[in-house]
Chains A and B, each alone.
Chain A
């Protein structure tokens, strides 16, 4: 993603660097004055919005760079739409700053800094649903030119060309002369998208632009949004419910939970099983998409769902883990109906906390102290009672090397690769502080059982269950 502004800034920087050798400091400061570099199309600082006295958006700060698509995800009622409507100027913020292209827009109780017309030329808003109205498709697309026309001006041929291009790109040309209320919801949504494109704004705010679209048009629409942003160097905030679609098309994702921003980063950074659990209350597997390599979210279920036909019911899985390496699996296995146990976990270890919270059977030991015979015995008991044993890619030191040896002799063992083994985020090797003792054990076991990615474990277990 090359940003011309960025490139320009680099050029200016290099130039000034060269010039400052020969000329006075004056010329340098002059150049910087002439060309103020605005990097962000949108900067939001500490924004809060209240609806009927209830705080819906709670101190959210975020930014969008030129050319960037930022996805906003979160459960129903997490404040996504309210945030977007506040940014669009449809709701008054209680506090906070909204700066678009370096120009402050209305914020809090202070007066409008930019006029509504100026704002409309810079910010376009695509609502979640459209009401029906008696205009034709062409007429309603052409309305996107409103902020660019004088009060008594009629749309000129350039406006009509823009509208026509937008209709071609959204494949709505064939409806051009039909009334909007004769179209289906998805067709209507594409018409609104065409109108948003025609507005030629620097920042697009889109509330579920793919909500009523069929699969093909979801892809086409998001492709179009990306293409448009690249061409015009504009930015977008898009609310999406389909997390895989969001991961595929957004440069960055922001997760809202109860009005607060709880995560902000690349799709891989944000779409973690843990964030899925916090923001949506669901268990999900995050795997690389086979086509794009972006994270793909597979919904496993919710802790509270009570489906009777879970694959893991009546089966015991034991996790040999530690230092957070088994935490997500505990949740995921539980949602699939498995009875899960774990060992040996040091007190204060995040795996132990998770096991405790989930009410699992586990063996614990004081932190960083070597596993005693008694603890090892208890651990082996749990291992023997389990139908399947999973060896997680935790760091191994002399204190917990006995955990690895507990896996020896089991009949159904699954060995997990470190998360970064195939180029994914995270460590690419299992940390070994035992002078090769643990690694040797592990290698031996891998020769016997093979190893798999963490996200493949549930599939493998299901395959075994299916054969049985």
Chain B
């Protein structure tokens, strides 16, 4: 390697530099193609199977190409039930993937996940409140609304804890997040135990396990803009995040407005995560595992890592949700359970691997 680089100095010079765009384009292309293929499968399979040819023609029809050969029922199932679910699973996965990448960068720790500063448990508490008080039955949007409010409030509390004394500290942010999370977890558990209504208990457990069975176009319409805008903001700041990850001092002396960039990234990642949690419940390990795998393949440059984590997270959750619908058919496994079942062993593998490297 060393000899090669000195012999072919110029070749290396050229190839080493142009990889940012190349990695981004190749990675995005592969992930988008895979996502489209999985989406076709996801739109076809289920309790009511639709032939692939019908699915493709129905999808083409929806974007205005050709005439559908699908039967009206097939068309209706794809359009009103499966497509919104596919879209929601994808954007929630994208949200968790990119937010995980940001948090891992900000905390300089590849074991960080999007909910690390208490956003997920805040969302759960908000949802539990809506379910327990019966507000969730008043309007279908009260559940995501209260979940979002819960996320926002817990995020604000954790930020306040980290800012006490006028000096903002990432370490306190992390510890505050853990403390607030376990407090809110206890509140949720207490609510489940103290509720007599079995139906309420069941709803809470269902919500916490995370899933997309209630996905509708309206959910996509609300969640997508927030997540897309948040993702774009953070992708535009990904070079600053690179420098922050190197060291705050070095970032500062290279001209990064450290505090501003850090706060924008933290708040964007939190809003993205809060929105995802509000519409899906708690889906574990996507935000942890996806950026980690993407980093192993394309490297740590956030200009590549963040967009590909978004696409990869979307694809992963779409696959997981489709699997959750199919594996126990006609019953449905909660997708949050499935991702945890895949994610936890993988997390253990990462721990063992990083420990092995230290030894």
Q: Which residues of A line the B interface, CB within 8 A?
A: 85, 88-90, 116-117, 119-121, 123-125, 127, 130-131, 133-136, 138-140, 142-144, 146-147, 149, 151-152, 154-155, 157, 159-161, 163-164, 173-174, 176-177, 195, 199
Assuming the A-B contacts A130-B247, A133-B108, A136-B299, are A174 and B1 also in contact, with contact meaning beta carbons closer than 8 angstroms in the complex?
yes
Cα-based distance from A176 to B245 in the complex (angstroms): 19
At the interface, is chain B mostly helix, strand, loop or mixed?
helix
Interface residues of B in 99-151 (CB under 8 A from A): 108, 110
Q: Contact at B252–A173, with CB atoms within 8 Å?
A: no
Given contacts A90-B252, A133-B300, A152-B236, contact A140 B6 (CB under 8 A): no
Indicate whether B295 reaches chain A with its CB closer than 8 angstroms: yes
B26 at the interface (CB under 8 A from A): no
> Which residue of chain A has its CB nearest to the CB of B239?
A146
Decide if B16 touches A143 in the complex (CB within 8 Å): no
**A127-B247, A133-B245, A176-B5 known; A89+B253 contact, CB < 8 A:** yes
Contacts of A88 in B (CB 8 A): 249, 252-253
Judging by beta carbons under 8 Å apart, are B255 and A120 in contact? Answer: yes
Known A123-B253, A134-B300; contact A146-B243, beta-carbon cutoff 8 A:
yes
Nearest chain A residue, comparing its CB with the CB of B255: A120
Q: How many angstroms between the C-alpha atoms of A119 and B255 in the bound complex?
A: 7
Q: Can you report 17 residue pairs joining A to B where beta carbons are below 8 Å apart? A: A120-B255, A130-B247, A133-B108, A134-B245, A135-B242, A135-B299, A138-B16, A139-B242, A143-B242, A143-B243, A143-B254, A146-B239, A161-B13, A174-B2, A174-B6, A176-B12, A195-B250
Of the candidates B6, B16, B254, the one having the most CB atoms from chain A within 10 angstroms of its own CB is B254
B21 within 8 Å of A (CB atoms): yes
The residue in chain B whose Cβ has the minimal distance to the Cβ of A201 is B253
Q: For B257, give the chain A residue with the smallest CB separation.
A: A116
* Chain A residues, CB < 8 A from B16: 138, 160, 176-177
CB distance from B111 to the nearest CB of A (A): 13
Question: Are A90 and B243 in touch, CB under 8 angstroms?
Answer: no
**Cβ-Cβ contact count across A and B, 8 Å cutoff:** 103
Residue pair A146, B246 in contact (C-beta under 8 Å): no
Q: Known contacts A119-B255, A127-B250, A173-B5; decide if A160 and B17 are in contact (CB<8 Å).
A: yes
Nearest residue, chain B, Cβ from A142: B17
A113 → B minimal CB distance (Å): 15
A116 vs B299: C-alpha distance when bound (angstroms): 28
Q: How far is the CA of A122 from the CA of B254 in the complex (A)?
A: 10
Q: Does B301 contact A (CB under 8 A)?
A: yes
Point out which of B12, B21, B243, B246 has the most chain A C-beta atoms below 10 A from its C-beta: B246
| A85 to B16 Cα, complex, angstroms | 33
**How far does the Cβ of A369 sit from chain B's closest Cβ, in whole Å?**
62
- Complex: chain A residue closest to B245, CB-CB: A133
Partner of A147 from B1, B2, B254 at Cβ < 8 Å: B254
Q: Are A120 and B253 in contact (CB under 8 A)?
A: yes
Interface mask (B1-28 → A, CB under 8 Å = 1, otherwise 0): 1100110010011101100110000000
B256 touches A (CB below 8 Å): yes
Q: A131-B108, A138-B16 are in contact. List 5 more A-B contacts (CB 8 A).
A: A88-B252, A139-B300, A146-B243, A146-B255, A174-B6
Question: In the complex, what residue of chain B is closest to A145 when comparing beta carbons?
Answer: B254
CB distance from B302 to the nearest CB of A (A): 10
Q: A131-B247, A135-B301, A143-B254 are in contact. Are A151 and B17 (CB under 8 A)?
A: no
With a cutoff of 8 Å between Cβ atoms, the chain A residues found around residue B2 in the complex are 174
Closest-CB distance, B101 to chain A (whole angstroms) = 12
The residues of A that contact B254 with a CB separation of less than 8 Å are 120, 143-144, 146-147, 199
Residues of A with C-beta under 8 A to B6: 173-174
Check A131 against B243 for contact (C-beta < 8 Å).
Answer: no
Binary CB contact string for chain B from 248 to 265 against chain A (1 if under 8 A, 0 otherwise):
011011111100000000
The residues of A that contact B20 with a CB separation of less than 8 Å are 154-155
Q: Which residue of A lies closest to B301 (CB)?
A: A139
Q: Which of B5, B9, B253, B300 contacts A135 (CB 8 A)?
A: B300
In Å, the complex CA distance between A151 and B233 comes to 12
In the complex with contacts A116-B257, A135-B242, A151-B236, A160-B13 CB distance below 8 A? yes
Q: Would A116 and B247 be within 8 Å (CB), given that A164-B13, A174-B2 are in contact?
A: no
Residues of B within 8 A of A119 (CB): 255
User: Which chain B residues border A176 with CB–CB below 8 Å?
Assistant: 5, 12, 16
Residues of B within 8 Å of A133, CB to CB, are 108, 245-247, 300
CB-defined contacts of B21 to chain A, threshold 8 Å: 154
Residues of B within 8 A of A116 (CB): 252, 255-257
Q: How far is the CA of A154 from the CA of B18 in the complex (A)?
A: 9
Task: Give the complex CA separation of A123 and B299 in angstroms.
Answer: 29
Give the docked Cα–Cα distance between A199 and B253 (Å): 10
Q: Which 5 A-B pairs have the closest CB atoms?
A: A120-B255, A160-B17, A174-B2, A134-B300, A125-B253
Q: Are A135 and B246 in contact (CB under 8 A)?
A: yes
List residues of chain B with CB within 8 A of the CB of A159. 17
In the bound complex, what is the Cα–Cα distance between A428 and B135 (angstroms)? Answer: 98
Per the bound structure, the CA–CA distance linking A161 and B14 in Å amounts to 9
Q: Which residue of B lies closest to A181 (CB)?
A: B357
Task: Give every chain B residue within 8 A of A152 (Cβ-Cβ).
Answer: 236
In Å, the complex CA distance between A195 and B250 comes to 10
Q: With a CB–CB cut-off of 8 A, which chain A residues contact B295?
A: 134
Q: What residue of chain B has the Cβ atom nearest to residue A199's Cβ?
A: B254
Q: How far, in whole Å, are A89 and B248 apart by their CA atoms in the complex?
A: 12
A173 to B295, CA, bound (A): 23
Identify the interface centre among B243, B249, B295: most chain A CB within 10 Å of its CB.
B249
- Docked Cα-Cα span, A136 to B23, in Å, equals 15
CA distance A138 to B301 in the complex (A): 11
With the chains together, A199 CA to B255 CA distance in Å? Answer: 11
Q: What is the 8 Å Cβ interface bit string for chain B, positions 194-236, against chain A (1 contact, 0 not)?
A: 0000000000000000000000000000000000000000001
Which single residue of chain A is at the shortest CB-CB distance from B12? A176
Chain B residue numbers with a CB within 8 Å of A124 are 253
Tell which of B17, B243, B249 has the most Cβ of chain A within 10 Å.
B17
Residues of A with C-beta under 8 A to B299: 134-136, 139
> Roughly how many angstroms separate A8 CA and B253 CA in the complex, as a whole number?
32
How distant is the Cα of A123 from the Cα of B20 in the complex, in angstroms? 27
CB of A71, distance to nearest CB on chain B (Å): 20
A90 with B246, Cβ < 8 A, contacts A139-B300, A152-B236, A155-B17 known: no
Residue of B nearest to A152 (CB): B236
Q: Measured between alpha carbons, how far is A152 from B16 in the docked complex, in Å?
A: 20
CB neighbours of B246 from chain A (8 A): 131, 133, 135, 140, 143
Shortest distance in angstroms between A87's beta carbon and chain B's nearest beta carbon? 10
Smallest distance from the beta carbon of B265 to chain A beta carbons, Å?
15
